Amino acid sequence: MLEHGGNLRDAVHSFKRPLSEWLDLSTGINPRFYPAPIVADHAWHRLPEHSDDLLAAAKSFYGAPEMLAVAGTQAAIQSLPLLRLTAAGQSRVVVSAPSYAEHAHQWRRWEHQVTECLYSGLDAAIDEADVVVLCNPNNPTGEVIAPETLLRWANRLEARGGWLIVDEAFGDTNPNLSVAAHTHQSGLIVLRSVGKFFGLAGIRLGFVAAHPTLLQRLAAHLGPWAISGPAQQVAIAALRDHAWQTDTRHYLELQGQRLRGLLIDAGMSSSGTDLFQWASHRDLSGRTELLWHFMAERGIWLRWFAQAPFRPHGVRFGLPGDEIGWQRLSHALMEWTQQYV
């Protein structure tokens, strides 16, 4: 299995510091997560049937014509390569890079011909591919592609029976970037997650927006009761809670600015979204591992991306969840600046 952020058990093991003493900044998950309501008894007790209320809430929030609920976007990322296995053979798949590593990994598992391609090279790669996969905005770099460009690419792929898969897991802080509204087009597939903006990664829930025929095939592949009853109830409340969503967008914008400001003060230029910042090896003057280690020794767990072909090389900072966390980060960055900048 690939390594991911949020792996605090590795932090405990490697640095011999108890779990409770870590400041976990290794993910892009909103630390001020949606306050889950008390779940009704039947959600624990009954088999979780398909929920029209959940889908209606999701379609309204994401602006998509048709959606399928899945147990985290990860479930869709693992399943879509299987739906592309045809008698005609494997697909030629272009995956944008550097990016969320599961995409390339899952397509390779089923022996599709995977090419990883920098964002800047995607336009030229579209006509050589059956499937193109990208994240918008990108994790970890924060790169974005304009919706008009994505729709043009989807048209070019659709004309040949191809797919454009747009992973919008980090799209909730900037809904204007979304192409979910256009997924009646048969070549366009959009993935959304309640794990990031809503901070509900633990309930394992995401959505796929796509043409109904593809959603039916995916639903049949995933089988019955894919979403637990408690996950359904919590997500319905979160997706309908417009006041919380507006307040949270504003809160995250301020938190994102604060994080960017701290990194600038520490001599790092960075890119990212309101939920995380990315400092590349170049931004860090080659001191990526040193910074990651320096922070870990102070109980601050960052996501370090070690170098490999087409893998990013740098560190990602998530948001501290409270003032004590901000002060710890700020103090550690100040020490870093005094010693190394």
Ligand X SMILES: Cc1ncc(COP(=O)(O)O)c(C=O)c1O
Cis before 137? omega within 30:
yes
Stretch of 11-19, 108-116, 180-188, 193-201 lying at the interface with ligand X (CB under 6 A): 193-201
Site string for ligand X, 163-182 (x = CB under 6 A): ----x-x-------------
Label the pairing between strands 303-305 and 314-318. Answer: antiparallel
Name which of 3 and 297 has its Cβ closer to ligand X: 3
Minimum Å distance from CB 267 to ligand X?
27
Q: Are 208 and 68 in contact (CB under 8 A)?
A: yes
**CA nearest 304: which of 295, 312, 315?**
315
Minimum Å distance from CB 14 to ligand X?
21
Query: Is the torsion defined by CA of 194, 196, 198, 201 positive or negative?
Result: positive
The token pair at 259 is 């994080």
Rounded to 10 degrees, the C-alpha dihedral 47/52/54/60 comes to 170
**Cα 53 to Cα 50: distance, rounded to the nearest angstrom:** 9
Size of the site for ligand X (CB under 6 A): 12
Minimum Å distance from CB 5 to ligand X?
7
- Using CB under 6 A as the binding rule, whether residue 271 contacts ligand X is answered as no
| Contact with ligand X (CB under 6 A) among 67, 135, 145, 266 | 135
314: phi > 0 → left, psi -120 to 50 → alpha, else beta; which? left
| Contact with ligand X (CB under 6 A) among 26, 30, 51, 73 | 73
Name which of 193 and 233 has its Cβ closer to ligand X: 193
SS3 string, 199-226, reads CCHHHCCEEEECCHHHHHHHHHHHCCCC
Using DSSP, state whether 91 is helix, strand or coil. Answer: coil
- Using CB under 6 A as the binding rule, whether residue 141 contacts ligand X is answered as no
CA angle 265, 288, 142 (to 5 degrees): 70
The token pair at 274 is 């309101």
The token pair at 111 is 């022996």
| Contact with ligand X (CB under 6 A) among 195, 272, 320, 321 | 195
- Using CB under 6 A as the binding rule, whether residue 100 contacts ligand X is answered as yes
Stretch of 13-21, 56-64, 67-75, 286-294 lying at the interface with ligand X (CB under 6 A): 67-75
Q: In what order do the strands lie in the sheet with 163-167?
A: 67-70, 206-209, 188-193, 163-167, 131-135, 92-97, 113-118
- Using CB under 6 A as the binding rule, whether residue 72 contacts ligand X is answered as yes
| Contact with ligand X (CB under 6 A) among 136, 173, 183, 193 | 193
- Using CB under 6 A as the binding rule, whether residue 119 contacts ligand X is answered as no
Minimum Å distance from CB 139 to ligand X?
4
Q: Are 51 and 45 in contact (CB under 8 A)?
A: no
CA angle 322, 141, 281 (to 5 degrees): 95
Name which of 112 and 196 has its Cβ closer to ligand X: 196
Name which of 4 and 160 has its Cβ closer to ligand X: 4
- Using CB under 6 A as the binding rule, whether residue 201 contacts ligand X is answered as yes
- Using CB under 6 A as the binding rule, whether residue 51 contacts ligand X is answered as no
Stretch of 71-79, 84-92, 142-150, 266-274 lying at the interface with ligand X (CB under 6 A): 71-79
| Contact with ligand X (CB under 6 A) among 48, 98, 199, 206 | 206
- Using CB under 6 A as the binding rule, whether residue 273 contacts ligand X is answered as no
Stretch of 40-48, 66-74, 82-90, 113-121 lying at the interface with ligand X (CB under 6 A): 66-74
Point out the residue whose Cβ comes nearest to ligand X: 72
Give the interface with ligand X as residue ranges (CB under 6 A): 72-74, 100, 135, 139, 167, 169, 193, 195, 201, 206
